[in-house]
Amino acid sequence: MIVLGIESSCDETGIALYDTDKGLLSHALYSQIALHAEYGGVVPELASRDHIRRIVPLLEQAFEKALLTPQDVNAIAYTKGPGLAGALLVGSSVASSLGLALNKPLIGVHHLEGHLLSPLLASKPPVFPFVALLVSGGHTQLMRVDGVGRYELLGETLDDAAGEAFDKSAKLLGLPYPGGPEISLLAEKGNPEVFHLPRPMLHSKDLNFSFSGLKTAVLTTLKKQGDSPSEQVKADIARAFVNAIVEVLAAKCALALRQTGLKQLVVAGGVGANRQLRAALNGMAAKRRCQVFYPELEFCTDNGAMIAFAGAMHLMQNPDAAQKDYAFTVRPR
Ligand code: KG4
Ligand code: ZN
């Protein structure tokens, strides 16, 4: 079975073709990061318009790379939500139009489920059950995953998402959008002994997170350094921020592994690309004799492959999961 995947929930247009026998056949991606950079964040209306501009050429690219035509597809999976309403509408209306024109069934995919299952695209994937840490720009969750569609929420952020904390703190330090990778790079030049920032909810004994206080701590620390802090001071603050957030994430993952008794941890979502987080999780897992799985770097952030894959997994379980109902809606929340 060949599934076409379409992702357009935020600022990346992703298209992919997944074959349940042969694996991923092709994927094509366009990131709008440069478009939104000058505004310091994603501008929803610009995002929708750019998805419209990119989506058909990307579809053509993906089919060309896979040496397939749209008629070869058995089903079309698209991101139904959560995300920006206008952006989601582009992917879902293209999916519906293609389905209607080609007489192919559609399956709406939850964006986070795409992230959650993305580590299974790797050559050495984890096996169910496992604990998953979902850390993206919009979400921070710990889940117990027993199988496709069998998820239990263990804990989540009570305020900002981890990626949001990275981006907002980076912005306070004057770094360009999206700040996650930038603040992580700057932190490598920082001295860990200079500043100490709070570790919110580190000892809360549950699996929830809270990151908005950390962002505020970055702001107050920065303000105390006068009007134009040196690059080294900024690097030291970046280091303190990264160390704090990474310590909390790693400690909660350790607690989730202990509470569930599971031995595999899957890390998904954009923040999963973070080097310091990976180092901390690898160290924690080695101590606990657990294994950590990361999606390939290109599948950590938003992409079409994870949507094609999640759609394909649902269809393998239940062929009726895809329907020839072309009246589409999106679920921004
Ligand atoms: O999963 P994703 O691409 O989109 C959402 O669904 O949100 O995640 C994007 C988030 C952004 O906040 C970005 O700053 C963060 O992931 N991110 C990183 C890194 N790469 C991406 N944060 C920290 N370190 C990184 N290397
Ligand atoms: Zn995402």
Tell me the best of 111, 166, 172 to mutate to test the pocket of ligand 1, counting ligand atoms within 8 Å of each CB and taking the most.
166
Model confidence at 301, pLDDT cuts 50, 70, 90, reads confident
Measure 302 CA to ligand 1 centroid, in angstroms.
9
User: What was the ipTM of the complex prediction?
Assistant: 0.98
Contact (Cβ atoms closer than 8 angstroms) between residue 29 and residue 58? yes
Contact (Cβ atoms closer than 8 angstroms) between residue 146 and residue 280? no
Buried-state track 75-100, b at ≥16 Cβ within 10 A, e below 16: bbbbbbbbbbebbbbbbbbbbbebbe
CA distances in angstroms from 48 to 7, 11, 87, 197, listed in the order given: 12, 8, 4, 38
- How would you classify the pairing of strands 140-147 and 23-31? unpaired
Which residue bears the tokens 């700040």? 179
Which residue bears the tokens 């293609």? 98
In this predicted structure, the answer to whether residue 168 has a pLDDT above a threshold of 90 is yes
Question: Helix H segments across the chain?
Answer: 33-37, 44-66, 85-102, 111-117, 162-172, 179-187, 212-223, 231-260, 275-287, 297-300, 305-317
The chain-wide mean pLDDT, for the chain, equals: 95
Q: What is the pLDDT of residues 33-50, one digit of tens each?
A: 899 988 888 899 999 999
Asked whether 50 lines ligand 1 (CB < 6 A), one says: no
* Model pTM score: 0.91
Question: Residue 166: is it exposed, middle or buried by C-beta count within 10 angstroms (0-12/13-18/19+)?
Answer: buried
Instruction: Provide the token pair at 328.
Output: 């589409």
In this predicted structure, the answer to whether residue 16 has a pLDDT above a threshold of 90 is yes
Contact (Cβ atoms closer than 8 angstroms) between residue 80 and residue 300? no
Residue type, 281: L
Measured from the Cα of 184, ligand 1's closest atom is 24
**Average pLDDT over every residue of 202-228:** 95
Q: What is the pLDDT of residues 126-151, one digit of tens each?
A: 999 999 999 998 899 999 999 999 99
Which residue bears the tokens 């935020």? 10
Q: What is the pLDDT of residues 207-217, one digit of tens each?
A: 999 999 999 99
Asked whether 271 lines ligand 1 (CB < 6 A), one says: yes
Residue 274 annotated as part of some ligand binding site:
yes
Asked whether 11 lines ligand 1 (CB < 6 A), one says: no
Which residue bears the tokens 């992580």? 184
Measure 331 CA to ligand 1 centroid, in angstroms.
21
Question: Residue 275: is it exposed, middle or buried by C-beta count within 10 angstroms (0-12/13-18/19+)?
Answer: middle
Model confidence at 329, pLDDT cuts 50, 70, 90, reads confident
In this predicted structure, the answer to whether residue 328 has a pLDDT above a threshold of 90 is no
**Average pLDDT over every residue of 221-225:** 96
